[in-house]
A and B are shown apart, each in its own frame.
Chain A
Amino acid sequence: EVQLVESGGDLVQPGGSLRLSCVASGFSFSNYWMHWVRQAPGKGLVWVSRINTEGTSTSYADSVKGRFTISRDNAKNTLYLQMNSLRAEDTAVYYCARGKDQSHWGQGTLVTVSS
């Protein structure tokens, strides 16, 4: 069974940093592109970033470019999102999703940016 388990969400002050993790199991993690998608409270889905299978190619939404960094450790079956210079508008549930079609999603981890 495909499983994606996010962690690392927390309450953080504006300007702070946080690193999210997404541990994958039940499939060959190194064979799939991976995405981060976020959803602010009561709002729609917003794509954040994606990374290719080797971790050599990444893309970011304009709203996070230069502040967030996506990476992966295929040996640990883990996807990461390093978030720096956090803003109130980054408050959201962050989901990791598998593959170009985002066929499987984790349960999400809540990031709250507030003083």
Chain B
Amino acid sequence: QSVLTQPPSVSAAPGQKVTISCSGSSSNIGNNYVSWYQQFPGTAPKLLIYENYERPSGIPDRFSGSKSGTSATLGITGLQTGDEADYYCGAWDTSLRLWVFGGGTKLTV
């Protein structure tokens, strides 16, 4: 059971938009930055979003992040088949004093 809750899977057609939610609490998402990671099978995770909505260099603006209260959302527009991957949210938990991940969401395009 992950501290952060994500839907196990989401799907949408190519060209459409999808959102992936990440629900936490005041000790993690509510008072700390949220990061999002993309992982293709057999490869290492890659940072997509940091500090709630910032994109690292090289990440297209089709990917966006937002946060409200104790929940965060990853948005992906203009879906491509190449976006099919697992997506994880993560945040520091101040009460537990450790980093927590969501259980991951498998995106099907």
**CB within 8 Å of B: which residues of A?**
35, 37, 44-47, 50, 59-61, 95, 97, 100-108
Most buried by B among A46, A50, A97, A102: A102
Q: B64 to nearest A CB, angstroms?
A: 16
The answer to whether A50 touches B99, judged by C-beta atoms less than 8 angstroms apart, is yes
Count A-B contacts at CB 8 Å: 57
Contact A46 to B101, CB < 8 A, known contacts A95-B45, A101-B51, A104-B47: yes
- Hey, which chain A residues are within 8 Å of B44, CB to CB? 95, 105-108
The answer to whether A45 touches B101, judged by C-beta atoms less than 8 angstroms apart, is yes
CA distance A46 to B3 in the complex (A): 11
Contact A102 to B98, CB < 8 A, known contacts A44-B2, A45-B37, A95-B44: no
CB interface residues, B 33-54, toward A, < 8 Å: 33, 35, 37, 39, 43-47, 50-51
Chain A binding surface SS class = strand
- Hey, which chain A residues are within 8 Å of B103, CB to CB? 44
- Hey, which chain B residues are within 8 Å of A44, CB to CB? 2, 86, 88, 101-104
The answer to whether A103 touches B47, judged by C-beta atoms less than 8 angstroms apart, is yes
CA distance A90 to B100 in the complex (A): 18
The answer to whether B45 touches A61, judged by C-beta atoms less than 8 angstroms apart, is no
B62 interfacial contact with A, CB 8 Å = no
Contact A103 to B56, CB < 8 A, known contacts A44-B104, A45-B101, A59-B98: yes
- Hey, which chain B residues are within 8 Å of A47, CB to CB? 90, 98-101
Q: A98 to nearest B CB, angstroms?
A: 10
CA distance A101 to B59 in the complex (A): 15
